[in-house]
Structures are given as C-alpha cells and as structure tokens.
Homo-oligomer: A and B are copies of this chain.
Amino acid sequence: MKLKMMYSFLNADIGLIEKELEATVQAEHPLLRQAGVELLQAGGKRLRPVFVLLAGKFGEYDINRIKHVAVALELIHMASLVHDDVIDNAELRRGRQTIKAKYDNKIAMYTGDFLFARALALMTKLENPVAHKILSHTMVELCIGEIEQIKDKYNFNQDLRTYLRRIKRKTALLIAVSCQLGAIGANASEDIQKKLYLFGYYVGMSFQITDDILDFTATEEQLGKPAGSDLLQGNITLPVLLALKNLEIRESISAITKDSTESDIRPIIDMIKTSSSIEKSFELSNLYLNKAFKILEELPNNKTKTALNNIAKFIGKRKF
C-alpha cells in the first residue's frame, strides 16, 4: 500500500495544507519566495502535517484551526533541512540542488531563519500559550541537536546513548511534537496528548534509524543523493556504531578523516553494508516500532488509529 493511501480520508485537508504552505512562502520577498517555492516543489512526504491532522482526529477536529499547526510543523522541518544542508555542505536533496548550492550559505541561513520565524508567527494564530511554549522549546532542542551533530562528527568513540539522544533531538522530537500539538490543537484530553506524543517519539526514533540504514543500503536514485553520504560527512550513525564493534571494520572506519575521499570510503561502506550491523540496526528500529504499536493499543479504535498503525508499519518497512 502506498503511504498516501493510508490516510486518503484526509486528502482534501492535505491539499489545503499544501495550498497554505504555498501561500505562506509566496507572500513575501522575491528571493525568499523563489527559495520557498523550490523547497516545496522538491516534494517530501509531508509526514509532520499528516501526523498533526491524524492526531487532531482524536479531539474536536477543526481543519481551519489545526491547519496552522500543520503548516508550522512542516515549515520548521523545511527550515531545519535548509540549515542542515549548510552544515553538511550538501549539494543535493531529493534529487534537486539545495538552497545553499543554488544560492549560497548566507541565503540558505536567512531562508531557514525566515521559515522558522514564519512557523512561529503562524502558531500565534492558535491562541494557546502551551502550544508556543512547546514549539519554541522544540526549536531550542533542535538547535542543540544540530550543534551536537557537528561536535560528534568523526568521533568514533561515542556510545549508543549519544547517538540515540542526537536522533531524538534531530528527528523524533519534531514528530512527537507534531502528534502532541495536533492533539492540543483539537483540545484532546491530556492523556491522549501524552500518548500521541509517545507514539510520535517512538515512530520518529524508528524512522531516523531506518533513514540511517537506508543511507547505506539504498541506491543514489532512491535517495536523491549519493549513498553513504552520512559517513562521508563524518556523521556516525547506528550502522557505523555497531560495525565499530567488529575490530577489523573498526580499524578501517577509525582511519576516516575530513580529508577522506569518496573512493577511500566506498570499500568501508561495502564492509558495513555486508556486516551484521545493518540487521542489528533494523532490530533496534523494530524495537521502537513495537513500542509505537503498543501505545496505539491504548487509544480508541477508529480509522485514524488504523492509519497511524499503517504509517508506522510503512516507516519500519520502507525501502527509501
């Protein structure tokens, strides 16, 4: 089943979110508008808005209220990608030139700032101080996560906890908060808010681990960027961390520096791909996924719950 088929009952509302996203980036400055439109056209799964809307279905769902939350979350996600690409010197994302590649680091920096600021401005349409508090604190954590990622590059002595804390800040938190704010935006009970937050957190952890695996196992065509980019940029992801336990592979990995070229790293990527660390990474991803399924069991039965269940399954099994 295709991802979009899992929540086809939301089709009209997701179309509206897309239009709102366009309107939000179009209303302003020519260069920012162009950068924003290009970012939107590059596509993406719009997972965060989908989680916001689905979470909202557990409360008093009002699309005209909750749409602001959905758009804000996607804008924050987009902003963090734009700033990420500056950090990673990334030329391509989703098969397209990144903002930093097409313009420069400086334009990318302010495009990101602008999207962050627009997101927070949008959230003020929801007159709930708790929502702002959550969103701005999430941004603080996102920034810390990014700084951590820079600091931990090429550090082959980091432990699993460091990795998990980093992907929590980098990915899981924003998905958790998408679910939580969806519930808050629809005035769902606090119990449901908490459960949806946890569901999003577990799904987010599984999602990022899968992403980190796919960076090794998927093709350049599937990824929209060269495979093995993470390791080439010095990012130590779960498959690398687990492969470091194999002394032979450890020796090769530890020799990687900022000056390593793609051809230096290619054989190491192959070693990791054929090691057991890929399978073990999938095991940890599944562990999180099962926690997500378990939380879902505590939520009321409805088609939204089925959708969340299917999305979680999809995320665990996706090939790119």
Which A residues fall within an 8 A CB radius of B? 28-29, 31-32, 83, 86-87, 105-107, 109-114, 116-118, 120-121, 123-124, 127, 129, 132-133, 136-137, 139-140, 142-144, 146-148, 150-151
A interface majority secondary structure:
helix
12 cross-chain CB contacts under 8 A: A28-B140, A31-B147, A83-B113, A86-B109, A111-B147, A113-B142, A117-B140, A120-B120, A123-B132, A124-B129, A124-B132, A124-B136
Shortest beta-carbon contacts, A-B, top 3: A117-B139, A121-B136, A114-B143
- With both chains docked as a complex, state the minimum distance between the C-beta of A191 and any C-beta of chain B, in angstroms: 23
- With both chains docked as a complex, state the minimum distance between the C-beta of A113 and any C-beta of chain B, in angstroms: 5
The residues of B that contact A83 with a CB separation of less than 8 Å are: 109-110, 113
Complex Cα–Cα for A225 and B238 (A): 46
Complex Cα–Cα for A105 and B87 (A): 9
Q: B106 touching A150 by the CB < 8 A rule?
A: yes
Given that A116-B116, A129-B129, A132-B132 are known contacts, is A110 also in contact with B140, CB under 8 Å in the complex? no
The residue in chain B whose Cβ has the minimal distance to the Cβ of A130 is: B124
The residue in chain B whose Cβ has the minimal distance to the Cβ of A29 is: B144
Complex Cα–Cα for A32 and B107 (A): 23
Given that A120-B132, A120-B136, A124-B129 are known contacts, is A114 also in contact with B28, CB under 8 Å in the complex? no
Q: B32 touching A147 by the CB < 8 A rule?
A: yes
- With both chains docked as a complex, state the minimum distance between the C-beta of A302 and any C-beta of chain B, in angstroms: 32
Complex Cα–Cα for A241 and B143 (A): 39
Q: B113 touching A87 by the CB < 8 A rule?
A: no
Q: B29 touching A148 by the CB < 8 A rule?
A: yes
Q: B144 touching A28 by the CB < 8 A rule?
A: yes
Between A120, A137, A148, the greatest number of chain B beta carbons within 10 A of the residue's beta carbon is seen for: A120
The residues of B that contact A146 with a CB separation of less than 8 Å are: 110, 113
Given that A106-B87, A117-B136 are known contacts, is A127 also in contact with B129, CB under 8 Å in the complex? yes
In the complex, besides A117-B139, A117-B143, A123-B132, 4 extra interface pairs with C-beta distance below 8 angstroms are A32-B144, A107-B147, A109-B109, A121-B136
Q: A121 touching B150 by the CB < 8 A rule?
A: no
Q: B118 touching A140 by the CB < 8 A rule?
A: yes
The residues of B that contact A129 with a CB separation of less than 8 Å are: 124, 127, 129, 132
The residues of B that contact A120 with a CB separation of less than 8 Å are: 120, 132, 136, 139
The residues of B that contact A147 with a CB separation of less than 8 Å are: 29, 31-32, 107, 110-111, 114
